[in-house]
């Protein structure tokens, strides 16, 4: 909807009204079309201002409409009509002007923005391009290089930056609508021809062909298979090389391909999934909207290894006072230096002062006595963590929330060490903790909704996407990673190479294949866990076959590499070889190939040709199957939670929506059929056995992912 008022006698004010972000729904578009006609037909009206209600100009096209039949007046002719209007039209931009919202503003003759407003063309993040003339008008207004940057990244820019680009004509700290109305009165009689951006020549640098070549190469390299960024470059190239009308035609063609693509569907699903995880619920019935968080003013981090340092930086950068504790003097000195460096580099990048004074360092756990929340980040060792929790419980105020950054240990066992187990939750950060967006907030059987709500809110305040998950070994992310890693090792035993497995996964869109990723994180990390679990190094006198442990198939390949001191990048050798320890350039290692040959010979394994499809299906479907088990067990509330965890924590390609959305795209019956096939071939691998929920969903006719929760509820109630 849109509202019309006449202000100051001669200005027609059109206010977009569609909460929460004044998206351009069919009703809003109809309103703009009708009200523009009215303003143009009223002789007293000399100029027009377009604004949005509640301090928000416009969040762009209504994304919810994309899935269905589009109705109402289309955007392109609506914006053309504004640009062609005989009276000056001024956009009064408060809050945001994004996507179609900015394209609408680009159709206006003038743009006035509040100093706190942000503008951008984020369509690429939804698998689209600015298809309402944005790809043609923006380069004409701000030049090709800046337009390419904004359109291919989708980044939002501040009003100050927009002014520098020439994207807006004026910024103000005052009431934007009032300023725009006065401005509209001033320009009422000015000629409009030069203000119609579509008539401008495109602003191209002299080496524009080279620029496009370079940008296209960079975009192809970083897109990881996403098609929208490439189409964005093609659309801007059309603006630079074709007359406006032909450029618009090219924009339309490119948009038509993107609009119906699976990638756009995946990215739009993901947009809503990110928002859905904020509406968390627990099996007890506690929910985001009925559980109030308690404010946290002062926090503490215990243990300043890699994770503890990153968490400290994340907290300090967000303005929290932090007590950072490390009991070893040498470690503490190193950590202090590293944290200061991280804060200084971050502050320089963001053009602010480093938050060094937010942190108080200490060696004594007593120094956390008065904090509101503690995040323990000591080694991943249950005995050590239990001790720390006992100490914290004795030292801290009774109301202090005690959180663990464990990546998979039992939160309940930690809670049991404390006086107030209801205040204990997991806060599982991902390395590097000050950069990675994901936070798993883990509730145990005793965790209170208050503790979950507080941890979720803290996560949001430090810029994380927080997902509430239940307590089980590995929680959601690492639990699903286990079968994925396991399949990758089995594929090596059966004849594949690390290079081939990684190539297939990287072609799928992962930033790194499983073996390159293991080399980066360090093979010793998982080895230590397997040793603690009694999986690595079986006692040969027990007569346990090497490739069978605890009743199931086991590959000791990773353990054997660790026994040789091959821990990955840090030792210069792992699944690949590196020029020197710490180097990041992975090269195939002939030693490893011979090692695999010898290993196969020792275990009488005959290498067979493994194709692309088998690698992908076994790695991904075993992981997806575990995802269904997690839903069945109630560890994740819905498929969106799993997908958000995988995209933000495990570099799952966003344009594929996440593992559960991918399963829906492939077809659940196909996933089931392939798992059955592989399980038949490998009956000693339980992770390949299709789980009950997957079977149930297929039996229910494979409903769309948005309906899975109904089936999940039934399955859970039957258990």
Residues found near ligand LFKQWZQV in the complex (CB under 6 A): 20-21, 23, 59-64, 75, 96, 98-100, 122-123, 126, 128, 131-132, 272, 275
- Residue 264 or 378: the one with the smaller Cβ distance to ligand LFKQWZQV is 264
Give me the catalytic one of 123, 326, 440, 486: 123
Tokens of 674: 């392939």
Nearest approach, Cβ of residue 128 and ligand LFKQWZQV (Å): 6
Collapsing DSSP to helix, strand or coil, 231 comes out as helix
The DSSP output letter for 202 is P
- Residue 15 or 321: the one with the smaller Cβ distance to ligand LFKQWZQV is 15
Nearest approach, Cβ of residue 62 and ligand LFKQWZQV (Å): 4
From CA 146, how far away is CA 47, in angstroms rounded? 30
- What's the distance, CA 250 to chain centroid? 31
**Is 103 in the active site?**
yes
Are 399 and 419 in contact, with CB atoms under 8 Å apart? no
Nearest approach, Cβ of residue 674 and ligand LFKQWZQV (Å): 33
- Residue 151 or 202: the one with the smaller Cβ distance to ligand LFKQWZQV is 151
- Residue 254 or 489: the one with the smaller Cβ distance to ligand LFKQWZQV is 254
Nearest approach, Cβ of residue 64 and ligand LFKQWZQV (Å): 5
- Residue 61 or 451: the one with the smaller Cβ distance to ligand LFKQWZQV is 61
From CA 115, how far away is CA 171, in angstroms rounded? 6
- Residue 131 or 459: the one with the smaller Cβ distance to ligand LFKQWZQV is 131
**Is 123 in the active site?**
yes
Give me the catalytic one of 94, 103, 326, 617: 103
Q: How far is CA 386 from CA 242, 417, 466, 622, in A?
A: 68, 6, 25, 33
Collapsing DSSP to helix, strand or coil, 97 comes out as strand
From CA 92, how far away is CA 47, in angstroms rounded? 13
From CA 260, how far away is CA 659, in angstroms rounded? 21
Collapsing DSSP to helix, strand or coil, 109 comes out as coil
- Chain position whose Cβ is nearest to ligand LFKQWZQV: 99
- Residue 23 or 314: the one with the smaller Cβ distance to ligand LFKQWZQV is 23
Cβ-based neighbour number of residue 106 at 10 Å: 27
Nearest approach, Cβ of residue 61 and ligand LFKQWZQV (Å): 3
Nearest approach, Cβ of residue 187 and ligand LFKQWZQV (Å): 27
First to last CA, the chain: 48
Cβ-based neighbour number of residue 420 at 10 Å: 17
Cβ-based neighbour number of residue 42 at 10 Å: 14
Return the bridge partners of 375, or none.
Answer: 301, 403
Q: Where are the beta strands (DSSP E) in 282-366?
A: 298-302, 321-325, 359-362
Q: Show the 3-state SS of 67-134.
A: HCCCCCCCHHHHHHHHHHCCCCEEEEECCEEECHHHHHHHHCCEEEEECCCEEECHHHHHCCCCCCCH
Collapsing DSSP to helix, strand or coil, 20 comes out as coil
Nearest approach, Cβ of residue 119 and ligand LFKQWZQV (Å): 11
Residue with tokens 């187990």: 421
Q: Show the 3-state SS of 127-161.
A: CCCCCCCHHHHHHHHHCHHHHHHHHHHCCCEEHHH
- Residue 62 or 440: the one with the smaller Cβ distance to ligand LFKQWZQV is 62
Are 96 and 57 in contact, with CB atoms under 8 Å apart? yes
Catalytic residue positions?
Answer: 103, 123
């Amino acid at each position: 909807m849109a509202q019309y008022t006449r202000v100051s006698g001669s200005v027609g004010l059109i206010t977009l009204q569609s909460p929460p972000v004044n998206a351009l729904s069919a009703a809003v578009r109809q309103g703009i079309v009708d009200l523009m006609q009215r303003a143009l037909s009223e002789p007293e009206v000399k100029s027009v201002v377009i604004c949005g209600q509640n301090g928000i100009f416009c969040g762009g096209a209504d994304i919810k409409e994309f899935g269905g039949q589009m109705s109402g007046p289309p955007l392109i002719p609506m914006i053309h009509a504004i640009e062609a209007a005989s009276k000056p039209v001024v956009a009064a931009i408060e809050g945001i002007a994004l996507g179609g919202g900015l394209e609408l503003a680009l159709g206006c003759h003038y743009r006035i923005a509040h100093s706190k407003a942000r503008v951008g063309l984020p369509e690429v993040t939804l698998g689209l391009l600015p298809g309402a003339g944005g790809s043609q008008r923006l380069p004409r207004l701000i030049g090709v290089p800046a337009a390419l940057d904004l359109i291919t990244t989708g980044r939002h820019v501040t009003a100050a930056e927009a002014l520098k680009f020439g994207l807006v004509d004026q910024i103000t700290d005052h009431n934007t609508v009032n300023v725009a109305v006065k401005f509209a009165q001033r320009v009422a009689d000015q000629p409009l021809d030069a203000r119609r951006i579509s008539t401008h020549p495109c602003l191209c640098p002299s080496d524009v062909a080279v620029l496009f070549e370079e940008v296209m190469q960079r975009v192809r390299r970083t897109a990881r298979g996403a098609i929208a960024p490439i189409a964005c470059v093609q659309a801007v190239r059309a603006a630079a090389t074709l007359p406006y009308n032909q450029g618009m035609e090219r924009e339309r063609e490119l948009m038509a391909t993107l609009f119906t693509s699976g990638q756009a569907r995946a990215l739009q699903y993901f947009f809503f999934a990110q928002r859905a995880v904020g509406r968390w619920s627990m099996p007890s019935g506690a929910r985001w909207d009925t559980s109030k968080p308690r404010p946290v003013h002062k926090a503490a981090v215990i243990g300043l290894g890699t994770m503890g340092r990153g968490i400290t930086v994340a907290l300090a950068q967000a303005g929290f006072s932090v007590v950072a504790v490390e009991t070893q003097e040498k470690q503490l000195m190193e950590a202090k230096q590293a944290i200061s460096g991280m804060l200084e580099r971050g502050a320089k990048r963001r053009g602010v002062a480093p938050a060094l004074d937010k942190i108080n360092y200490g060696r004594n756990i007593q120094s956390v006595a008065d904090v509101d929340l503690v995040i323990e980040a000591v080694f991943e060792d249950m005995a050590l963590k239990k001790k720390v929790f006992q100490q914290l419980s004795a030292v801290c105020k009774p109301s202090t929330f005690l959180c663990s950054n464990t990546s998979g240990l039992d939160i309940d066992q930690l809670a049991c060490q404390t006086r107030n187990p209801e205040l204990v939750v997991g806060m599982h950060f991902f390395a590097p903790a000050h950069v990675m967006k994901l936070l798993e907030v883990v509730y145990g059987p005793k965790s209170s909704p208050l503790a979950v709500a507080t941890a979720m809110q803290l996560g949001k305040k430090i810029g994380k996407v927080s997902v509430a998950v239940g307590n089980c070994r590995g929680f959601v992310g690492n639990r699903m990673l286990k079968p994925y890693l396991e399949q990758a090792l089995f594929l090596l035993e059966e004849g594949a190479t690390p290079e081939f497995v990684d190539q297939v996964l990287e072609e799928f869109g992962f930033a790194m294949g499983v073996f390159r990723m293991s080399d980066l994180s360090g093979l010793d990390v998982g080895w230590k866990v397997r040793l603690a679990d009694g999986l690595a190094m079986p006692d040969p006198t027990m007569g346990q076959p090497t490739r069978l442990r605890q009743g199931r198939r086991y590959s000791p390949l990773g353990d054997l590499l660790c026994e040789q001191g091959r821990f990955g990048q840090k030792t210069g050798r792992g699944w690949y070889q590196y020029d020197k320890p710490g180097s990041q350039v992975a090269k195939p290692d002939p030693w490893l190939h011979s090692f695999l040959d010898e290993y196969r010979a020792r275990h009488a394994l005959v290498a067979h040709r493994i194709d692309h499809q088998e690698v992908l299906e076994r790695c991904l479907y075993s992981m997806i199957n575990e995802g269904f088990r997690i839903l069945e067990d109630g560890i994740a509330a819905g498929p969106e939670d799993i997908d958000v965890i995988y995209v933000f924590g495990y570099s799952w390609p966003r344009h594929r929506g996440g593992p559960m959305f991918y399963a829906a795209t492939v077809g659940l019956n196909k996933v089931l059929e392939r798992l059955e096939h592989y399980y038949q071939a490998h009956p000693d691998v339980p992770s390949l056995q299709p789980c009950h929920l997957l079977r149930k969903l297929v039996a229910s006719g494979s409903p769309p992912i948005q309906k899975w929760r109904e089936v999940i509820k039934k399955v859970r109630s039957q258990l």
